[in-house]
A and B are shown apart, each in its own frame.
Chain A
Amino acid sequence: MHFSFDDDHHAFADATRAVLSEQCGPDVVRAAWEAPAGQLDRAVWDQLVGLGVNALLVDEQHGGLGLDEVWAALVLEQTGRAALPHPLVESAIVAAAFDPSVVDGTLISTDLGGPNVPCAADADRLLLLDERAGALHLVDRESVELVPDTAVDRSRRIATVVWSPSPDSIVTDDAAEIALARDRGAFGTAAVLLGLADSMLAMTADYVRERRQFGVPVGSFQAVKHQLADALMQVSFARPAVHRAAWSIARGEPTRRRDVSMAKALASDAGVTVARTALQCHGAIGYTVEHDLHLFLKRTFALSRCWGSAADHRRVVAAAITRERDRDRDRHGATTTV
């Protein structure tokens, strides 16, 4: 048992963090709100590609780094911290299994996490699910029709994809592979949520130290401290669950699905709690689009429900517990009759 990351994992995450803090400030996130469809700036994306972030899960024969989800966990937290607008989870964590060209920066988005496809018009390719046939297709963006939607978080740049499946574009119709892709997306999104939560907590702690009311910093009030302590606690206990999910996927553990669902449920709940607390503690300034907080809030509200909401994933866990209970009961019944 050794439940921690090693120095190399941390070094990779730190390098990612350095690129993001230089190249992906709130101005970049705001620019993603304004850029016309299909014209998302890729400066930070290209930097991440240069670092090998997109190549993490691709094997070495295909030019990738041949690493696993445990490495991805810390890196994705960093992208959440910066509210990176590009669909890194969709490309590097989900689509990488089907298209190794992600290592060169090919931007792939997908509808596996829900019908609203992020950065649909900015993607080079799309990984799309034909639900009726249970098949996953990889298609060029030019070959489908996009119906843009207006998201609360404009930097999500979402659209609905209208397309008709053709046998030529199938990458898999193996239900297990599709389930694994979904688990990767849910895990990756959970990791991103942790990073978003960390940033909101840090912003809020800074703010309540400075902001004064009744002659003292508002952060000295117990009512404020207690809310922030609870928010911090939720993230702190969601984090090891996300890290365990990474390990379960990487090792192909039999409990993978349950572990991923637990991670996404806890991270979604923690993200929403932190977002609400951050807004409350910022007060009216936080309720403006001028303050950066809303960039993180809105992303959190979106991601907490994509790739399965907390409620969806809690049901998955409940079903897994029921299965385990029934299996144990069968086993127990068998031993008592012997």
Chain B
Amino acid sequence: MDLRWTPEQDDFRHEARNWLVEHRDQWLQSCDHRPESGDTKTGFAQHLEWERMLHQGGWAAVSWPSRYGGRDASLWEWLIFEEEYYRAECPQRVTQNGIFLLAPTVFEFGNDAQRDHVLPRLAAADDLWCQGWSEPNAGSDLASLTCRAERVDDGWLLNGQKTWTTRGAFCTHLFGLFRTDPEQQRHRGLSYLMVPLDADGVTVRGFGRLDGDEGFAEVFFDDAFVPDTAIPGGVVLGGVDDGWAVAMATTGSERGLTLRSPGRFTAAVNRLVDLASETDHAVTDDIADVWMRAEAYQLFTLQTVTQLANGASIGAESSINKIWWSELDIGIHELALDLLGPDAELEHAWSKAFQFALSGPIYAGTNEIQRNIAAERLLGLPRK
């Protein structure tokens, strides 16, 4: 056991820190120090500028191979980068669904042509991907999906509706699960498709999330034709009718460490401590409690990354991971609102972040589902 960072890792940290702080300031200048939320039309455009700066600096997807636009960083370095990213209060990543959810799946299940096309364009923010999982009647129960993709000459014909699609109104592409064999039930007969949103027969309508930003969209497919050539290597990721296994690999990484790195929460608790100071409050036991929970998440992640570095893979532990960070996020922001007192009702960064935190126990599979998974797979309790 050695809980120190190596000199090389410290160097990496300083390089990342210097770059991020300098370019964050440049970006703030470029938008007159008035950046909007990345979940509004104007804000999204501002954030794309930032994404392109990141890409030019080689920081868009640090852990990817350099041939796809990354910098071959290890998971350790990725964690360090994330810590510095949140410490410097850099902009929200509007490409995160592509980077953290689609890309790992393309790496694992894609063919060479798909990788060569999708990944570099994703890193450069040329193509902007949203996740098309949920449907009006299928949230956590993904196996009840009904959106259809029918095989026709040279492509697929899509019919149905996706919804609660994050940043769908601003993205160029959607990856999602579609029922390709209507005879099959539940998780069988689904395929993982990559779909350009400008295809004929696709209608995207943005709508407001709880925090008021137009961060959600519903996507209607009305005999939408997607040719096989829309994505070099094909629009199906993994095998036809094998989408469930492909998607489950993605949701594991979503609940696991990649979507919510510990740096996000350690930065948030440090800001909470600052807020206590600004509002003339002591660091109470409650604040110490969320501080410890953030720190524990960091330590748990360091243990997980050590295991991954030793060749293990993450299993159902990602379920308790997801419950922990999503509840921690709400805990941090509820305390912040308490410190603000009556001003908690004003719209500002803390109240926005609080409203966003409320989505944590819902998305990526509700916490109720995660508790079932943890109980069944980690403790061996019976399904029925």
How does the 8 Å CB contact mask read for A187-210 relative to B, with 1 for contact and 0 for none? 000000000000001000100110
Total interface residues on B, using CB and 8 Å? 51
**Known contacts A228-B381, A229-B374; A241 and B320 CB within 8 A of each other:** no
A315 to B283, CA, bound (A): 9
Residues of B contacting A222 in the complex (Cβ-Cβ under 8 angstroms)? 368, 371-372
Total interface residues on A, using CB and 8 Å? 46
Task: Check if A321 sits within 8 Å of B299, measured CB to CB.
Answer: no
Task: Check if A317 sits within 8 Å of B375, measured CB to CB.
Answer: no
Is A282 interfacial (CB-CB < 8 Å)?
Answer: no
**Known contacts A222-B372, A321-B273; A236 and B317 CB within 8 A of each other:** yes
Is B287 interfacial (CB-CB < 8 Å)?
Answer: yes
Task: Check if A4 sits within 8 Å of B306, measured CB to CB.
Answer: yes
How does the 8 Å CB contact mask read for B275-316 relative to A, with 1 for contact and 0 for none? 001000011110111011101110110110111001000000
Task: Check if B288 sits within 8 Å of A244, measured CB to CB.
Answer: no
**Which of B1, B285, B376, B382 is the one whose CB lies under 8 Å from A2?**
B1
Is A5 interfacial (CB-CB < 8 Å)?
Answer: yes
Chain B residue, CB-CB nearest to A235:
B320
Q: In A1-45, which residues have CB < 8 Å from any B CB?
A: 1-6, 9
Stretch at the interface among A48-56, A172-180, A213-221: A213-221
B313 to A: closest C-beta gap in Å: 15
Residues of B contacting A169 in the complex (Cβ-Cβ under 8 angstroms)? none
Residues of A contacting B292 in the complex (Cβ-Cβ under 8 angstroms)? 241, 262, 265-266, 314, 317
Task: Check if B285 sits within 8 Å of A318, measured CB to CB.
Answer: yes
B270 to A: closest C-beta gap in Å: 9
A-B residue pair count with CB separations less than 8 angstroms: 148
Task: Check if A233 sits within 8 Å of B303, measured CB to CB.
Answer: no
Is A224 interfacial (CB-CB < 8 Å)?
Answer: yes
How does the 8 Å CB contact mask read for A314-338 relative to B, with 1 for contact and 0 for none? 1101110110010001000000000
Residues of A contacting B380 in the complex (Cβ-Cβ under 8 angstroms)? 205, 209
| Across the A-B interface, the 8 shortest Cβ-Cβ residue pairs | A225-B375, A240-B299, A318-B288, A229-B371, A229-B374, A219-B381, A233-B320, A3-B302
- Given contacts A3-B305, A5-B1, A229-B319, 19 further A-B pairs with CB under 8 A are A1-B4, A1-B5, A4-B1, A208-B381, A209-B382, A217-B381, A217-B382, A222-B372, A228-B381, A232-B375, A237-B300, A238-B296, A240-B302, A244-B299, A247-B3, A262-B292, A262-B295, A321-B273, A325-B274
